[in-house]
Amino acid sequence: MHQAEEWKKRSKELALRVFRLGRALPRTEEARILGRQLLRCSSSVAANSRAVCRFRSRSEFVARMGVVVEEADERAFWLEFLVDAGIVPQRKMADLLHEANELVATFAASQHTARAAVNQSMKKSRNE
């Protein structure tokens, strides 16, 4: 599977898993607020990872991937926060957290690689 297709698939699947988690959260005000935050950033990661695949330049890719990295990291934070706040047990969150953190690392590495390529290209064009 092409890397971009894998990103879209994994991001969407994780967003759906988070959506199901949101439905299962306790009916407290705290859980409702945290659940909304988590659902927003999860759906944002899925939507923006699709947008990244339609970049027109490396610079645009780097910029869009920055949004994906930020939102993916925020999603991991809210998942951790639900555990730390005692709303969801760690054992129920372990797989979601693992996948969320893995995607953050994948997106960040891709952004770093693309940024390095942009910088290298800019240096090369300056020296010509």
* pTM of the predicted protein model: 0.89
- Residue 92 CA to residue 79 CA, distance in Å, equals 11
Q: Please, which contacts does 118-122 make with residues 24 or more away whose CB atoms are closer than 8 Å?
A: 118/58, 118/59, 118/62, 121/58
Instruction: Determine the pLDDT at residue 103.
Output: 96
Instruction: Determine the pLDDT at residue 10.
Output: 95
Query: What residue spans define the domains of the chain?
Result: 3-127
Q: Of 2.60.120.10, 3.40.1010.10, 1.20.1440.60, 3.30.10.20, which CATH number belongs to 3-127?
A: 1.20.1440.60
Would you say 48 and 104 are in contact if contact means Cβ atoms under 8 Å apart?
no
Instruction: Determine the pLDDT at residue 44.
Output: 95
Instruction: Determine the pLDDT at residue 56.
Output: 86
SS3 content of the chain, % helix, strand, coil (to 5): 85, 0, 15
- Residue 70 CA to residue 125 CA, distance in Å, equals 30
Tens place of pLDDT per residue across the chain (128 aa): 588 889 899 999 999 999 999 999 999 999 999 999 999 999 999 999 998 888 888 888 899 999 999 999 999 999 999 999 999 999 999 999 999 999 999 999 999 998 988 888 777 666 76
Instruction: Determine the pLDDT at residue 128.
Output: 65
Instruction: Determine the pLDDT at residue 1.
Output: 52
Q: How many CB atoms lie within 10 A of CB 94?
A: 11
